[in-house]
Amino acid sequence: MRVLIGVLSGFVAGVAVGLLVAPTSGDETRQKIADSATDFAGNVKEKFRKFRNRTEAELNDIGVNYETPGQ
């Protein structure tokens, strides 16, 4: 888990620095940052969804009963 947090933090920092030092206007830079944040959030959601599905499948395989929050 620590490795994942470290990788994600490094990715975010790298994108932010890259965008901030790029020779573009403020509007373009803000749009790039917004687009990158949206892409990053989508990637995190997708990875979490895959992790949750894998975990649920494993729990089902070993016969653990659980309830998904909100049901």
Residues whose CB falls within 8 Å of the CB of residue 66, separated by 6 or more in sequence, listed in order: 56, 59
C-alpha atoms less than 13 angstroms from C-alpha of 24 in its C-beta half-sphere: 13
What residues does each domain of the chain span? Answer: 16-59
Predicted confidence at residue 30, as pLDDT, reads 82
pLDDT at res. 59: 83
pTM: 0.49
Task: State pLDDT tens for residues 15-55.
Answer: 777 777 777 777 887 888 888 888 888 888 888 899 989 88
Q: Is 19 exposed, middle or buried (0-12, 13-18, 19+ CB in 10 A)?
A: middle
* 71 Cα distance to chain centroid: 25
Q: Which two tokens stand for residue 4?
A: 């994942």
Can you read off the two tokens belonging to residue 9?
């933090």
